[in-house]
Structure 1
Amino acid sequence: MKKVTLNGNFAMVRAAVMGPVLRALDQSGADCDALLETFGMSRRLLSNPYEILPLTRYVAAFERAAEVLDEASLGLRLGSEVQLTELGPAGLVFLSSPTLNAAMRKFTLALASWQNTTTCEVLRDDEWPIWTYQIASPQIWPRRQDAEYSISTMCHMIRLVRGSAWNPVEVHFEHAAPADTKPYARIFRVPVRFQQPFNGVILRPQDLDASLKSADTQMARMMERHATDLIANEAIQHGIVEQVRDLITRRLAHEKLIVADIAKDLGLSQRSLQRHLAEEGSSVRQILREERQRSVAGLQERDGLTNAAIARAVGYADATVLWRATRNWKK
């Protein structure tokens, strides 16, 4: 099968992927809000499952959560418990496909609507088929939790449609073996190999041809269309000004906007970002001001919104700060 590389303007995931991590932190009594703040996130930001997050932040937050919980195999556990709705259209496409082969193939394609800059493929060149998963950027490291979560999730999904007794042939991971391998034996129940070229689930040839009782042609078509629409919406190539404007618009009310963070999320140094914007006759400060002006104008047309509410919606501390800003806009 042809390799599918999920591309985009910058490495991103949907906020829904943080759901399992948040639940684990809350259930343990850990300071979830403090951890989110460390990585420029908040519950308010994550309340919209379709919100865009930088992939780098998600991966790093997942690694930190495992440290905070002192649970090295956190990703393994969460993958075995994941709710398919948290995988967006990809999860429901998998569940409603007619065969496991179709389910894995369509899941791989639909995953681009939920997470990009990821390489996935189903290889059938050798005797044993293998589904592989890997973040395309080598700079995003360490990423053990994401890799183990993704492979554990795939095995969990297959067991949902084939029965809990199903096992793969082998499981591969790109990272080195940890000191304790017992959680792998418990989750996968088969040999696990480390320091491999990619993360993967090896299957039997007959696994892929098996019919799935959960097949729903209408649901599969709907979810494929939904995934296609999401991918098309995010795949439009934008210039640097539009990319910065898009990031600012998404996060205006949710987090403190810092030039260095915006640059990092776009895969640039702060100096490079400022240079590129200057070449386009713009700057982060100018774009931020324009977006705040636009947002304030729209919010002021709504009935019942106080100045304090408008101020919060555009990232200001209170109505006084908003008033001062609007005075400067008129100069």
Structure 2
Amino acid sequence: MGPLIRALDAAGADTESLLTRYRLNRRMLSDPYEILPVITYIEIFEEAAALLSEPTLGLRLGRDLHLSELGPAGLVFTSSSTLKVAMRKFSRAIESWQGSTSMDLLLKHDAPSWFYQISDASIWPRAQDTEFSLSAMCNMIRLVRGPNWNPVEVQFEHAPPSDLKPYSRMFRCPVRFSQQTNAVLLSSKDLDAQIKSADIHMAAMMERHAADLIAREAIPHSLVEQVRDLVARRLSREKLIVGDIAKDLGLSQRSLQRHLADAGTSVRDIVREVRKESVETLSAKDGMSRAALARAVGYADSSVLWRATQNWASDNEPAADPSGPAKKRE
């Protein structure tokens, strides 16, 4: 919130009124460990951009962000040995600390990519936070690779703005909108870049500090909520396999299925519910094609999505095999 509040103050905006509407004040925000609902943060960001008549506010603030403002996560990044290690450790720290958020460094494709997404589809619009996050990550990478470094490509889930020039100036690479997710694509050689400020002991200390803070502030969730969260995070980027979900929760596949059955549900039912909710929310997005919508909820194409929605409408959806990869038809 620091960069955002400073931008409002610098423009002479009525920052106090904005904070009051969200039941916040400067005293609360003076504590770097104050916890805010992620939806409040995102809504304030969107409102601030409108208030300042600056549609690329998030883009600018990400570019100018100082790593010290990211707290322990920023120190974990600068204290890691290589850019690959830094990006992964940074992502794990932020993902654990910031709710409803999914981010990771993916290496399965020709071009490695760092993706960022708010996994709660009902939080929309969220372009300012998204542009801030990708802009900030590129700023962080330039601290390691040098100011002349450019991504291979940048992707955004929201529709393209009327003016694309600020994005060309910021990223200096192809920028695509209305995509399945938000991502920064890099070259493989970038990941092996050494970080000159690397300090293994500092990194270990900061990771422990971040873990302690996360544990202190963590809100306990039921097993059903934990499964829903994992499904929402993975829906658009990987196959949903019960064994993998169980492993991430520290359970055997049989134990997970038994506990969910006791709660009156199953992985199949949860996947279906999350997909339906996501489709209902994402359908209202401006500029999102049916093909992009299908990919965002884990379907191969729009025809598979159409069949699924017909099944939902009739409430007679065929059962999918929960023990293996998601099939093309539910």
**TM-score, length of structure 1 as denominator length:** 0.65
Structure with bigger RCO (C-alpha 8 Å, 6+ apart)? 1
Structure 1 residues without counterparts, runs of 5 or longer? 1-17, 240-331
Partner letter of residue 56 of structure 2? S
Partner letter of residue 168 of structure 1? P
Whether the 8 Å contact between 1:161 and 1:214 is mirrored in structure 2 is no
- Distance, in Å, in 2 between the alignment partners of 1:174 and 1:225 is 33
Whether the 8 Å contact between 1:174 and 1:197 is mirrored in structure 2 is yes
- Distance, in Å, in 1 between the alignment partners of 2:145 and 2:195 is 7
Whether the 8 Å contact between 1:79 and 1:150 is mirrored in structure 2 is yes
**1:56 and 2:39 correspond:** yes
- Distance, in Å, in 2 between the alignment partners of 1:216 and 1:166 is 23
Whether the 8 Å contact between 2:92 and 2:104 is mirrored in structure 1 is no
Partner letter of residue 73 of structure 2? A
Q: Which residue of 1 aligns with 2:110?
A: 127
Aligned residues: 222
- Which digits, 9 at most, give the CA deviation of each residue in 1:274-323, with x for residues without a partner? xxxxxxxxxxxxxxxxxxxxxxxxxxxxxxxxxxxxxxxxxxxxxxxxxx
- Which digits, 9 at most, give the CA deviation of each residue in 1:4-23, with x for residues without a partner? xxxxxxxxxxxxxx101000
* 1:251-262 aligned within 5 A: none
- Which digits, 9 at most, give the CA deviation of each residue in 1:107-135, with x for residues without a partner? 01111454122111111111100000001
**1:90 and 2:94 correspond:** no
Q: Which residue of 1 aligns with 2:156?
A: 173
Of 47, 70, 74 in structure 1, the residue corresponding to residue 53 of structure 2 is: 70
- Distance, in Å, in 2 between the alignment partners of 1:133 and 1:236 is 22
- Distance, in Å, in 2 between the alignment partners of 1:40 and 1:176 is 31
- Distance, in Å, in 2 between the alignment partners of 1:144 and 1:23 is 20
- Distance, in Å, in 2 between the alignment partners of 1:153 and 1:229 is 25
Of 156, 180, 197 in structure 1, the residue corresponding to residue 180 of structure 2 is: 197
Partner letter of residue 166 of structure 1? W
- Distance, in Å, in 2 between the alignment partners of 1:107 and 1:150 is 12
Q: CA deviation at 1:234?
A: 2.4
**1:212 and 2:195 correspond:** yes
| SS in structure 2 of the partner of residue 197 of structure 1 | coil
Partner letter of residue 46 of structure 2? E
**TM-score, length of structure 2 as denominator length:** 0.65
- Which digits, 9 at most, give the CA deviation of each residue in 1:158-186, with x for residues without a partner? 11122111111000000000001111011
Whether the 8 Å contact between 1:128 and 1:204 is mirrored in structure 2 is yes
Partner letter of residue 232 of structure 1? A
Structure 2 residues without counterparts, runs of 5 or longer? 223-330
Whether the 8 Å contact between 1:117 and 1:136 is mirrored in structure 2 is yes
**1:30 and 2:13 correspond:** yes
- Distance, in Å, in 2 between the alignment partners of 1:27 and 1:145 is 18
- Distance, in Å, in 2 between the alignment partners of 1:113 and 1:222 is 17
Q: Which residue of 2 aligns with 1:118?
A: 101
Q: CA deviation at 1:230?
A: 1.3
Partner letter of residue 7 of structure 2? A
- Which digits, 9 at most, give the CA deviation of each residue in 1:183-202, with x for residues without a partner? 10111111100011111100
- Distance, in Å, in 2 between the alignment partners of 1:135 and 1:236 is 18
The percentage of counterpart residues that share the same residue type is 60
Q: Which runs of 4+ in 1 moved over 3 A?
A: none
**1:186 and 2:169 correspond:** yes
| SS in structure 2 of the partner of residue 210 of structure 1 | coil
**1:149 and 2:170 correspond:** no
- Distance, in Å, in 2 between the alignment partners of 1:89 and 1:133 is 19
Q: CA deviation at 1:94?
A: 0.7
Q: Which residue of 2 aligns with 1:162?
A: 145
- Distance, in Å, in 1 between the alignment partners of 2:94 and 2:100 is 10
- Distance, in Å, in 2 between the alignment partners of 1:236 and 1:114 is 11
